[in-house]
Structure 1
């Protein structure tokens, strides 16, 4: 039985118990009040949704209705009949309906382990409905619409946003991972899926960020997109992030009375909940066998003897490109030039998917340089330009990582492979003088810590990374972040229903 149906019936039964006591009180002393309350009892019984009820439950409810309307009113028999119906409903399993609303397939990993936990729960109906999003022009008008429904594998079993409406599905829990609604200057999800249109009194809306961030450097930019105001809960990767979001929310409330009223209206007192992120689950369980290489990739990262080359993954974030524009592109150029001279190693460059449209809108003067770097990377025999929907192939097949801030550096460190924080704006030294403590660096990498170009020089860190061998550990089954988030969501839904 649907959990919300069960809770509604139990509340109705509680009301009927009260009415029965009142009927007994007025029976024989006030026909007017007795008849009035009896009409209310009949009305409540008729409003009970019996579509989810068993034959036995339907019969028990019918017996109760027959007894309250009988000329020989018997309070004891009425109480027993209602008790029977109450007990039958109370013993029903509670079925929860959970709806996932992803918009970009490349961000599905922020839902994946929650969805797995939902599928494993026999008392859950889980639905995945990818929603469309629009590009925006410089005036903020919607232009091209994108629907990535076709990118999802068959085993997820998606449903169509064109054929189904959220309110028709009537979910108890909705998971979203787009924080911006209409507030992003480059893209927007379809307006009917803005968060303020999803929230309602008998469902829980939970925002799970599609990103995680490396927070050891306190310069990391922390912002809110807008969905956080309306969501019942926001899942946080760490206590540090929770404090940042709470502070931002507090600052917003002080800055504007209308905003203060809006935030207060949707604030349940425990909006930000530290439960990690499903993206970590995906990285911890990553296996090369799950991500077979395309032939064009294989040609670039394997030599003529079919031996895999040492391969580094280079990440470029929107944040660092917009902050240090030309300097960031200069750094990328230096790295590509280095790999052009080293055909014994390989590079996978994976920039943020929105870099080009963002540059086109915010700093178009950088586009020619960026396009030239992309073309150069694509044309080298040992370099891959990764613009695929899924970053996990690049993470699985690379041996080390280079980048600055962002989501990918935070994820990559969890692989326990060398994860290098680049310095932007400084001269890059690709030479290795061998002056570094290899054991210290090994310990740092094994403990999922980032190692820094500014401390050792990039040449030394590449040299160390080529010598480093990860300790292969047996997979230990642990409680995933996704399972923790799912369990929390069901608990939150139960509380809200009651």
Structure 2
């Protein structure tokens, strides 16, 4: 039995108890007794579904049912003695039920994009390994938005093979009434690139659970937000439906408080995304077959481009990207992995539709190993871990992939000329692509010769900005949420 069902049974018994106390003063006692019998029948039907029958609870329920039937047959004659006996029977039943039936937590995960599943996976693993929990993963449908309209999408088939997936058509919120719902998208109808199906808006989910938990699909910036910073987005309408928000550090909590999020909603427990990388760093992983020979013995440069890479200032950014894609002409013993954000095409359709034809042609040429791009690997997979592990250097701005890469303590060639002001990561931890004293093409040559004077500065970078970077975030998220639910 799930905890939510046990709670509903106790609610029914509380209603029966209230009716018993009012029985002598009611004008329609037969109707009240009939209602009590209906509640008992509903409880009995639920108990019959248990794998192991709770014998003592069933016996006491039968005894209570028999007394109500006797009263009904006797014309609903009720006196102090019968009320006292009914009161005792109800209390005994509640006590026995509380002790005999140990409920399980009913937990469901509603991811929408497979590439963002890593933000929930270690939380799911903790739930799946808990004998007191039944956990389900239900990838939900969504729409890709553009100026031409909304295109339905579903990625259930893209999730890792070891994750048992339930199709959303086979999952009923009404029937399940989950104790805990975990989501990584709370933007509802307010997103501009994608929109989850309206059945899975937070406003609807909240009707079926007392614990709706938001675990962001990204790792938040290591640059603390200012009071006027809009990056936090905790003022969106969906936040009011959320019971708990998982944060990666204390300064984000302060930012959320400034935006009016109640303190009791905020939990600083880190990002489960780090857990996936910690596991990969400590174990061998399988690279895509088509990568193995190409990266063997090479210096690997990972280029990470953000979701709005081609939304504005497009041609300057494209020129810089093309320069970086040509790194192997500067260092012949290198190869480039380009990983565009999973929503890059969606953002182009929305903001720069005229650019789509060129983008498709460029990516197709790389994907098909055009000789001009033979030293470039296009990584459009849902799993970014192989790229992070293979990379010797990442070229990126302040994006989620860079923040995860901090754990590796490998070289960072920052897509800029200096560290953003206020950063928790010291300025001397990164190299800078547009540093006039040491530009990117000079650095590429030096890296090929073993140059790395900042190696010591990168040690422990992730811990300077985030909590629980040791692989424990997901387990702590699950355990903390479980404890909060059980205390209710």
Q: What is the DSSP-based 3-state SS (H/G/I as helix, E as strand, rest coil) of the residue aligned with 2:162? A: helix
| C-alpha contact (below 8 Å) 2:142/2:197 kept by paired residues | yes
Find 1:117's aligned residue among 109, 116, 126: 126
Cα separation, 2, equivalents of 1:282 and 1:230: 28
> Does residue 489 in structure 1 map to residue 471 in structure 2?
no
* Greater Cα offset, 337-346 or 78-87: 78-87
Query: Is 1:231 paired with 2:238?
Result: no
Q: Deviations over 1:130-158 (max 9, x none)?
A: 1122223315x223x22211122342111
**Aligned counterparts of 1:389 and 1:119: Cα–Cα separation in 2:** 22
Match of 2:95 in 1: 87
CA distance 1:32–1:329, change in 2 (3 Å): closer
Residue aligned with 1:297, SS: helix
Q: Which moved more, 1:364-373 or 1:189-198?
A: 364-373
TM-score, length basis structure 2: 0.78
CA distance in 2 between partners of 1:11 and 1:237 (Å): 37
Match of 2:379 in 1: 386
After superposition, the Cα gap between the structure-2 partners of 1:45 and 1:449, relative to the gap in structure 1 and judged at 3 Å, is farther
1:169-188 alignment runs, 5 A limit: 169-188=176-195
The structure-2 alpha-carbon separation of the partners of 1:486 and 1:449, relative to structure 1 and needing over 3 Å to count, comes to farther
Q: Give, in angstroms, the shift of residue 207 of structure 1.
A: 1.9
Distance 1:218 1:228 in 2: 18
Q: How does 1:8-19 map to 2 (within 5 A)?
A: 8-14=8-14, 16=16
In 2, distance between residues paired with 1:480 and 1:397?
Answer: 23
From 134, 141, 150, the counterpart of 1:142: 150
* Structure 1 residues 217 and 275: alpha-carbon distance in aligned structure 2, compared to 1, 3 A threshold: closer
RMSD between aligned residues: 3.8
> Secondary structure at the residue paired with 2:217?
coil
Q: How far apart in 2 are the matches of 1:294 and 1:42?
A: 62
Report the counterpart of residue 198 of structure 1 in structure 2: 205
* Maintained 8 Å contact 2:302/2:395: yes
Shift of 1:42: 4.3
| 1:155 has 2:162 as partner | yes
Q: 3-state DSSP class of the match of 2:381?
A: coil
Q: Which residue of 2 aligns with 1:353?
A: 342
Q: How does 1:146-295 map to 2 (within 5 A)?
A: 146-200=153-207, 202-216=209-223, 222-224=231-233, 226-248=237-259, 250=260, 270-287=264-281, 291-295=285-289
In the TM superposition, residue 99 of structure 1 has moved relative to its aligned partner by 1.1
Q: Deviations over 1:437-481 (max 9, x none)?
A: xxxxxxx89x995554448643565535945689999xx996721
Q: Which residue does 2:50 correspond to in 1?
A: none
List alignment gaps of at least 5 residues for structure 1.
251-266, 303-307, 426-443
Query: How has the CA–CA distance of structure 1 residues 320 and 244 changed in structure 2, closer, same or farther, with 3 Å as cutoff?
Result: farther
Asked if the contact 1:340–1:382 (Cα under 8 Å) also holds between the matched residues in 2, the reply is no
Separation in structure 1 between the aligned mates of residue 225 and residue 22 of structure 2, nearest angstrom: 64
1:55 has 2:37 as partner? no
Q: In structure 1, how many angstroms separate the alpha carbons of the residues matched to 2:282 and 2:336?
A: 17
Counterpart of 2:169 in 1: which secondary structure?
coil
Count of residue pairs the alignment pairs up = 446
Higher mean C-alpha deviation, range 384-393 or range 48-57: 48-57
1:229: how far off?
3.6
Partner of 2:422: none
CA contact (8 A) 1:320 1:404 kept: no
Question: For residues 361 and 83 of structure 1, do their structure 2 counterparts lie closer, same or farther at Cα, with a shift above 3 Å needed?
Answer: closer
Tell me the distance in 1 between the aligned counterparts of 2:10 and 2:312. Answer: 57
In structure 2, what is the equivalent of residue 45 of structure 1? 40
Alpha-carbon displacement from aligned partner over 1:389-410 (angstroms, at most 9, x marks no partner): 2111101111221100111011
Change in Cα spacing, 1:183 to 1:372, as seen in structure 2 (3 Å) is: same
Among candidates 139, 142, 146, match of residue 133 of structure 1: 142
Paired position in structure 2 for 1:422: 415
The equivalent of 2:394 in structure 1 is 401
TM-score norm. by structure 1 comes to 0.77
**Contact 1:420 1:450 survives alignment (8 Å):** yes
| C-alpha distance in structure 2 between counterparts of 1:268 and 1:117, whole Å | 27
Distance, in Å, in 1 between the alignment partners of 2:273 and 2:199 is 27
